[in-house]
Chain A
């Protein structure tokens, strides 16, 4: 089906069999939830509760600060016990609201917080999606409503739904497609309506035949939705790669997908939008894959946003004796966690616990210019040369060699036989370059 496909990329061991067959279960509420005000790309939410306030499940605790922002809602009923600086999954500290969960409160409330979809105008849908706090669940947590309201000077002709889930280990999108295919299609219907497009393509890697089958089975007759099986290859799910695989078009360097008339949404985001209009509740919980060879009992769980990693891992029977690294997200692009007090946030696709034998060795050899990284880089950079430049701090030259196009996918570091932390070098170099440019501008 996929005649195009993107070039390069890598094939890390999938390790999805740990959880791909496990049905999604609901995790019970922990004693305390911690909700950082910064959970999405764009401006953090502004606080709207104070210590001592009682909140119901679904009550806003932070309000959207402008269009590039979404509100944050209490994911359980309880009492606000503290508002302080708390470890954030990205390794910094962030302002966070602590809620002591009242486990005996009726956790399913009251009037709908989100209106019914039928009959809403496009603007009202966008507004509803924003007020429900929906962000992209593919990992970057970009506010979904922004992508539903493209600038008028662009015409969007296709909605591409990202069901690739190319990261090893993770299966939350996979399980969503298998268990809630109708919800995915409903989300698709809403988004196609909002974007005014006639055509949608759901790209799913071929290693999820059950998901493809489920989506095909439930496909609505009245919509032009194509389910496209994709080659199993990392990073098939990266936006630009996916667009190339599905449409054969290369999104120009430095441009957004809308510039080629495409909007990409993750299947999880679709399901979330559907659920929001279904239940009337905002986005307060998400599906998280908790897995890894360092974990006793891997699972696909529906987790309230704000659950601390500590509680989540304990619920999965804890980590094994040779567990070495806890990662939020997948092993290719996820973030290592130093502090298990950090909470699950809206963008948390999975928690992977690596055993010590799976982690990268410590010995780094010099670059032997084998060229494997060039053959791996999906955006056709020359990571070997960029790495050489980074080592001698020639950031300006790196910019000339298109450092900006590097999406830090890590394919190059994955294949490098010399174990050079290339993508880390590039991340640091991007920071340096930005700092130098700011200094230059000032």
Chain B
């Protein structure tokens, strides 16, 4: 009998087919349509920005992260998502820096995959927003020649971008500062100014549905975010239409869809419990509306998610599942 080559393992001896790299790479692959859409609207600039951000993320993960950690695919997602939430005209050196910062301080220093408390892509983006507030709020107009650059993408590292590209405000900025509405169809299709990937809501929703169907993202936070924004936004709009835009505008504008589908679902930085995910989603939704309507900034998705990230361990703490039999044990006593 061939006993020598037997292995012994602890039970269970079998395992479901899903693995962490498989989940990560599928999510990364699901971003391809979003990237394609952004290339359609913003031309080669979008691809260059995404490339630079991803390069920054991957290089940093490779240099500072654990050995072979590039294989799990999470750094790829971070880079792509960061690229997708930057304006298409931002100098590439800034996008690269954002990727490096996000992975370095948002992930590696925490111990790598699974340990970080804040969304690395958003940490990178928040850093860029704070460091270069002007560059990151310069929104080029979509459309035009595919190869025409949307800004000074090749600005010399550490130097000002100099460019004279036609800029346009984002729908949210237009509403907040000029009180100008944007047609809903433009929002849904994505033919508006804004970040590389936050424009086309419809494509992002489709990708999200696909991932939820595969079981790779938990639908609870995205759904609760969208519903909360819709309801609260609608309520405020009813109270004061001049200050708060209508609910559908709220839902389809800005980075809400990208944030809800891809960032509020990063299991590492949102609560592990399902109840906690509802709380996270509702909290994020409320913050988005509050920042957009009452805050100084036109957009609030990034900050809302980061703030809720900070609350994640606390939410986890308060939403631990009720262990089987503990309720009846209490009743018995």
The judgment on whether A and B are partners is: yes
B-contacting residues of A (Cβ < 8 Å)? 10, 12-13, 91, 168, 240, 249-255, 259, 310, 313-314, 318-319, 321, 323-327, 329, 331-340, 352, 354, 358-361, 365-371, 374-375, 377-382, 384-385, 401-402, 405, 408, 410-411, 413-419, 421, 423-424, 427
28 contacts between A and B (CB under 8 A): A13-B14, A91-B8, A251-B325, A252-B332, A253-B323, A253-B324, A313-B1, A318-B1, A319-B2, A325-B13, A334-B13, A336-B6, A336-B7, A354-B13, A360-B15, A366-B114, A367-B114, A369-B267, A378-B324, A381-B323, A385-B320, A413-B11, A414-B12, A415-B18, A416-B15, A419-B15, A421-B10, A427-B10
Q: Is the CB of B321 within 8 A of A354?
A: no
Contact with A along B86-115 (1 / 0, CB 8 A): 000000000000000000000000011111
Q: Is the CB of A371 within 8 A of B6?
A: no
* A334 to B115 CA separation, bound complex (whole angstroms): 32
Q: Is the CB of A382 within 8 A of B272?
A: yes
Least CB distance, B263 to chain A, in whole angstroms:
15
Q: Is the CB of B324 within 8 A of A371?
A: no
Given known A253-B326, A365-B113, contact A417–B23 (CB-CB < 8 A): yes
Q: Is the CB of A415 within 8 A of B16?
A: yes
Q: Is the CB of B1 within 8 A of A310?
A: yes
- Collect the chain A residues with CB atoms within 8 Å of residue B15's CB: 360-361, 413-414, 416, 419
Q: Which of B18-59 contact A (CB under 8 A)?
A: 18-23
Identify which of B113, B325, B327 contacts A379 (C-beta below 8 A): B325
- Collect the chain B residues with CB atoms within 8 Å of residue A369's CB: 114, 267-268, 272
Identify which of A254, A321, A366 contacts B329 (C-beta below 8 A): A254
Q: Is the CB of B16 within 8 A of A332?
A: no
* A333 to B329 CA separation, bound complex (whole angstroms): 27
Identify which of B1, B22, B114, B316 contacts A340 (C-beta below 8 A): B1
* A416 to B15 CA separation, bound complex (whole angstroms): 8
Q: Is the CB of A250 within 8 A of B325?
A: yes
Q: Is the CB of A359 within 8 A of B9?
A: yes
Q: Is the CB of A12 within 8 A of B14?
A: yes
* A337 to B11 CA separation, bound complex (whole angstroms): 12
| Total A-B Cβ pairs within 8 A | 194
Q: Is the CB of B9 within 8 A of A410?
A: no
Q: Is the CB of A326 within 8 A of B6?
A: yes
- Collect the chain A residues with CB atoms within 8 Å of residue B3's CB: 339-340
Q: Is the CB of A319 within 8 A of B274?
A: no
- Collect the chain B residues with CB atoms within 8 Å of residue A380's CB: 321-324
Given known A168-B14, A336-B8, A423-B10, contact A366–B112 (CB-CB < 8 A): yes
- Collect the chain B residues with CB atoms within 8 Å of residue A371's CB: 218, 267, 272-274, 277
* A414 to B18 CA separation, bound complex (whole angstroms): 10
Q: Is the CB of B10 within 8 A of A374?
A: no
- Collect the chain A residues with CB atoms within 8 Å of residue B23's CB: 370, 417
Identify which of B6, B267, B323, B328 contacts A325 (C-beta below 8 A): B6
Least CB distance, A20 to chain B, in whole angstroms:
18
State whether the Cβ of B72 lies closer than 8 Å to any Cβ in chain A. yes
Q: Is the CB of A366 within 8 A of B1?
A: no
Residue of A whose beta carbon sits closest to that of B326: A253
Q: Which of B185-213 contact A (CB under 8 A)?
A: none
Q: Is the CB of B325 within 8 A of A254?
A: yes
* A308 to B328 CA separation, bound complex (whole angstroms): 45
Most chain B beta-carbon contacts within 10 A, residue among A313, A366, A375, A381: A366
Q: Is the CB of B273 within 8 A of A327?
A: no
* A367 to B114 CA separation, bound complex (whole angstroms): 6
- Collect the chain B residues with CB atoms within 8 Å of residue A332's CB: 11-14
- Collect the chain A residues with CB atoms within 8 Å of residue B321's CB: 374, 377, 380-382
* A13 to B16 CA separation, bound complex (whole angstroms): 9
Given known A325-B7, A374-B272, A381-B323, contact A331–B13 (CB-CB < 8 A): yes
Least CB distance, A159 to chain B, in whole angstroms:
21
Residue of A whose beta carbon sits closest to that of B19: A417
- Collect the chain A residues with CB atoms within 8 Å of residue B11's CB: 327, 329, 331-336, 408, 410, 413, 423-424
Identify which of A249, A352, A360, A418 contacts B328 (C-beta below 8 A): A249
Most chain A beta-carbon contacts within 10 A, residue among B10, B13, B19, B111: B13
Q: Is the CB of A250 within 8 A of B14?
A: no
Least CB distance, B1 to chain A, in whole angstroms:
6
Given known A382-B320, A421-B10, contact A12–B16 (CB-CB < 8 A): yes
- Collect the chain A residues with CB atoms within 8 Å of residue B115's CB: 366
Given known A324-B6, A374-B273, A410-B11, contact A368–B325 (CB-CB < 8 A): no
Most chain B beta-carbon contacts within 10 A, residue among A313, A368, A401: A368
* A370 to B20 CA separation, bound complex (whole angstroms): 9
Given known A250-B324, A334-B13, contact A419–B329 (CB-CB < 8 A): no
Residue of A whose beta carbon sits closest to that of B218: A371
Give me the 7 closest cross-chain CB pairs, A-B, nearest first.
A410-B12, A253-B325, A424-B10, A252-B329, A366-B114, A336-B8, A379-B324
Residue of B whose beta carbon sits closest to that of A418: B20
* A329 to B320 CA separation, bound complex (whole angstroms): 33
Residue of B whose beta carbon sits closest to that of A333: B11
* A297 to B110 CA separation, bound complex (whole angstroms): 52
* A272 to B16 CA separation, bound complex (whole angstroms): 35
Q: Is the CB of B9 within 8 A of A336?
A: yes
Q: Is the CB of B329 within 8 A of A253?
A: yes
- Collect the chain B residues with CB atoms within 8 Å of residue A340's CB: 1, 3
Residue of B whose beta carbon sits closest to that of A309: B1
Least CB distance, A336 to chain B, in whole angstroms:
4
Residue of B whose beta carbon sits closest to that of A319: B2
* A313 to B114 CA separation, bound complex (whole angstroms): 43
Least CB distance, B118 to chain A, in whole angstroms:
14
- Collect the chain B residues with CB atoms within 8 Å of residue A368's CB: 20, 74, 113-114, 267-268
